[in-house]
Structure 1
Amino acid sequence: MDFFTILKAIILGIVEGLTEFAPVSSTGHMVIVDDMWLQSEQFLTKYVANTFKIIIQLGSILAVVIIFRNRFIDLLGLRRGASAETQDLSEPKRKLKLTHVFVGLIPAGVFGLLFDDYIDDYLFSIKTVLIGLVVGAIFMIIADRFRPAQTKVESVDQITYKQALSVGLIQCISLWPGFSRSGSTISGGVLLGMSHRAAADFTFIMAVPIMTGASLLSLAKNWEYFTLDTLPFFIAGFISAFVFALLSIRFFLKLINRIKLVPFAIYRIVLAVVVYIVYF
């Protein structure tokens, strides 16, 4: 495997890491990059290419786990109780429970199981991705424009089960490639009265179990494609996706309450226009 093939894996990992959790649709970007670049590699059959996408997605998921590690430790009940002398009383008591996350996951999980084959067969194309990018951008602009005047939920710990379920229902539209999981859930959360940061935190936490489960299931089906020829390509992409997801998520979480969703919506529309001109 030559240097340029490894470089291609690194660049694809960068695309995944930068876009997986930003509201710009990583799936949309990967479909576009796949058609423009990934398929040009002769050693990458359709199945090897799909396995590579799973690998780099796991790199992005690992970045979320690292960033939210304390939150996941609490959710799983793995933290030993702090004594009265050592507990920081200035820190608000955390209320987000694992059951909130599961409630948010149920709708998309059910819809995904029901329509998985249809989505794979009919919705993974440049045209459908462009539709998802534009319609998703409009939804994000609407969310910023018509969000409640007063934020009801400043922290992820204030999310109710009803809000978790509502965000989960809204997440179902992200099954359309190009719409973006984080774009739909953050927009939905904002419309429900959450701060942008609270909605983003819940989105990232909720993404880990569903993405990990789907990725590991797909990985088990494609294990035969791990060979000495493909392993360097996979490793380079995984590391690249992990590093850049780590950087982009930290940057995104610091900015989201200030810049809101409109700048990301504008980027999506510009991207859709550019890709349309190039392709059509």
Structure 2
Amino acid sequence: MDVVLLVKAAIMGVVEGLTEFLPISSTGHLILAGALLGFHDAKAKVFEIAIQTGAILAVIIVYWQKIRGTLAALPTERQARQFAANVAIGFLPAVLLGLAFGKAIQAHLFTPAVVATTFILGGFVILWAERRPQDAVRIHDADQMRWQDALKVGLVQCFAMIPGTSRSGATIIGGMLLGLSRKAATDFSFYLAIPTLVGAGVYSLYRQRALLSAADIPMFGVGLLFSFLSAWLCVRWLLRYISSNSFTPFAWYRIAFGILVLLTSWAGWVDWSA
């Protein structure tokens, strides 16, 4: 058993869990962590996507009461069916555009300039969203969303296919700009993450199954475990944080990280095309 490899898997799992649901781009942080650890070959890329499932398990546990209640009420309550339909509608654009343009995006947009630009621009978008007037909020709970709202958030989620954008950042901040409260946008972003990230993980494992063997099970298991634990802590913290704080600190962090991308790329320390 390669202990060093398991330690690297644990670190990558922690990075995934801590950054997946914050508006700061887990992809960008995983690229940096992978470069620093020497963990960035083809198998590592599959690993990075697969361990998202651990982070999603944390969301399912945190929101289990709502998920269980919705599933139980599907046969009898219109609101439960509407909520489930909204999640499905929000999920659909990412599936269609991901299948159509995923390879092209991987081939052409994973560059330092793109990653840095999306980090910095995303930071300014967050600052803009947090300065909107309070009367712009029209949806205070995710249950109040119409299918049109879900579709718009789903379309905004597609921007996250551009590296450095952040899926959570796109859906939360996009939802806020579309009239959702900070809490409603965050909740719906978490619900939308469940099919999106599970689907991406399963699809990636299926496509790259030839790269994997039984010997990889410990590495993936450790990554999933640490991704789950760190995501569980992060999600619980974030839900408390947004009750009385804005996303402005994350905006400045993104801008600083974008500058870091440019510096590390210029110095040749990190291959941001990974």
Global fold match (TM > 0.5): yes
- Cα separation, 2, equivalents of 1:191 and 1:228: 46
1:238 to 224, 227, 234: 224
Aligned counterpart, 1:159: 145
Distance 1:142 1:159, change over 3 A: same
What is the total number of aligned residue pairs between the two structures? 265
1:17 aligns with 2:12: no
Q: Which runs of 5+ in 2 are unaligned?
A: 267-274
- Whether the aligned pair in 2 keeps the contact of 1:106 and 1:168 (CA below 8 Å) is yes
Counterpart code for 2:238 = F
1:149 to 122, 128, 135: 135
- Residue by residue over 1:64-107, the C-alpha shift from the partner in whole angstroms, topping out at 9 and shown as x without a partner, is 111112222233337898xxxxxxxxxxx868521111121222
- Cα separation, 2, equivalents of 1:110 and 1:147: 34
1:212 to 185, 188, 198: 198
- Whether the aligned pair in 1 keeps the contact of 2:12 and 2:34 (CA below 8 Å) is no
Counterpart code for 1:64 = V
Higher share in helix: 2
1:195 to 171, 174, 181: 181
* Bigger radius of gyration among the two: 1
Shift of 1:62: 1.1
1:259 aligns with 2:245: yes
Distance 1:150 1:76, change over 3 A: same
1:1-280 equivalence runs, <5 A: 1-39=1-39, 45-46=41-42, 48-77=43-72, 97-280=83-266
Counterpart code for 2:188 = F
- Cα separation, 1, equivalents of 2:65 and 2:80: 11
- Cα separation, 1, equivalents of 2:94 and 2:212: 30
Shift of 1:270: 1.2
Counterpart code for 1:131 = T
State the TM-score, normalizing by the size of structure 2: 0.88
- Residue by residue over 1:164-193, the C-alpha shift from the partner in whole angstroms, topping out at 9 and shown as x without a partner, is 112112212111111011111111111222
- SS of equivalent to 1:149: helix
Cα RMSD (Å): 2.3
Aligned sequence identity (%): 36
- Residue by residue over 1:195-241, the C-alpha shift from the partner in whole angstroms, topping out at 9 and shown as x without a partner, is 11110000110111121112112112233444353222221111110
Distance 1:147 1:31, change over 3 A: farther
Shift of 1:132: 1.5
- Cα separation, 1, equivalents of 2:179 and 2:39: 43
Counterpart code for 2:6 = I
Q: Which runs of 5+ in 1 are unaligned?
A: 82-92
Shift of 1:108: 2.3
State the TM-score, normalizing by the size of structure 1: 0.86
Of residues 62-71 and 216-225 in structure 1, the stretch that sits farther from structure 2 once superposed is 216-225
